[in-house]
Amino acid sequence: MEKFAFVLHPLTIGDMRRVSPFIRCIPDSLLEHVLRKKKPFKVSHITGVKSPYAEAEGWFIGCPLTAKQMMELPEEFVIDRIVESGKIAEELGAKILGLGAFTSIVGDAGVTIAERLNIAVTSGNSYTVATALQGTREAARLLGHDLRDAEVAIIGASGSIGSACARILSREVRHISLVARRLSPLEELAQELNGQGAATFSVSSDIKEILHKADVVIAVTSAVDFIIDPADLKSGAVVCDVARPRNVSRNVSARRKDVLVIEGGVIHVPGDVDFHFDFGFPPKTCFACMAETMILALEKRYENFTLGRNLKPSQIDTISALADKHGFTLAGFRNFEHAVTPETIEQVKRNARL
């Protein structure tokens, strides 16, 4: 039996309020203070992960800091909390630890955490990229977009996931707009990639301007609040929101019935998996970053797989092949805790007159 663990944390104070009716009565400032003082803990035991080649069990470990706290508290304090989470995983017998949400962003994106633990560590970002692009390609096809000729925008392209998306899409797309707050990393990325594939690149820090023109959007910033509103998007656009917390406002789905928003990386797990914890997904499905940790455990690749901010296409190709081998598949499309049905897609096409 292979063994893994995965670190969870509340994205917002609202996540904590959904856990317990009692917490709803506590003011935000006091609840944040309590979370800062609380130590990491075991959340649940994960059972039933089984491929044709191996079987695994694992554990969710709770690191009780919100995304906002992880970005604003002293870096060393946050890293210490994540390492403490990893020590619990070690005690439980896990041989590899996956870093969820903002635990994979803090500091040097997992490198220091891996150095301070005695088990392997991965951020899950390689499989996150692979499945986000797989979903984006399929959603674009269903809406009738030829991805080669579409105006593609990557919001948060200076980050590890965004730049990896740019590198892979440069093989198949003719033009990509790279968007982030700082232009210099985008200019370096564009200069590196121009001429290497089919794509040409433009760079911008003006999210709104680029969104108004984009047919296909991949949103993957580390912003702690929404950055894409209903008025920002072109009619008929496909948006793959890979970020957690989400980059796309819930109002987009409520008010824009002529655009298709999907979440990146919703994965069906092989076997009769039971997470014994409700994180908002249908049974037997999970985030791609969680799935990467399971895949590596099933393959017995107890190694630091995806760390740091330089994701290599070869890593993404490797984890995609291993996912196929062990039976992990894309579990359709989801948007704000709801399945995106064929009827929804047809409605978008009609409203956008595609």
Q: Give pLDDT tens digits along the chain (354 positions).
A: 999 999 999 877 667 666 666 666 777 777 777 778 889 999 999 999 999 999 999 999 999 999 889 999 999 999 999 999 999 999 999 999 999 989 998 989 999 999 999 999 999 999 999 999 999 999 999 999 999 899 999 999 998 889 999 999 998 999 999 999 999 999 999 999 987 777 899 999 999 999 999 999 999 998 878 899 999 999 999 999 988 778 899 899 889 999 999 987 689 999 999 999 988 888 999 999 999 999 999 999 999 999 998 888 899 999 999 999 999 999 888 887 778 888 999 999 999 976
Burial of 138 (0-12, 13-18, 19+ CB in 10 A): middle
H or E element that contains 241: strand 238-241
Distances (CA, A) of 135 to 44, 152, 242, 256, 345: 29, 14, 11, 20, 14
The SS3 assignment for 288 reads helix
Who's near 65: CB < 8 A, 6+ residues apart? 9, 10, 35, 36, 73, 78, 81
DSSP state of 150: S
What pLDDT digit, counting tens, does each position of 51-62 carry?
999 999 999 999
| Of the candidates 232, 237, 185, the residue with the CA atom closest to the CA atom of residue 214 | 237
* Residue 344 main-chain phi, psi, to 5 deg: -60, -45
On whether the CB atoms of residues 26 and 44 are closer than 8 A, the answer is no
Which of 139, 140, 187 lies closest to 332 in space, CA to CA? Answer: 139
Name residues whose C-beta falls within 8 Å of residue 183's C-beta, 6 or more positions apart in sequence: 203, 204, 205
Beta strands 175-179 and 152-155 are: parallel
Q: How many whole angstroms separate alpha carbon 235 and alpha carbon 221?
A: 22
Strands 120-122 and 338-339: unpaired
**How many C-beta atoms lie closer than 10 Å to residue 151's C-beta?**
18
Beta bridge pairs of residue 154: 178, 218
Helices H / strands E in the chain, number of each: 13, 17
Scanning the structure block, which residue is given the tokens 């899950």?
Answer: 124
Phi, psi torsion values for 122, nearest 5 degrees:
-145, 145
Closest C-alpha among 51, 118, 72 to residue 269? 51
Structure tokens at 207: 């999210």
pLDDT digits (tens, 9 = 90+) for 276-291: 998 888 899 999 999 9
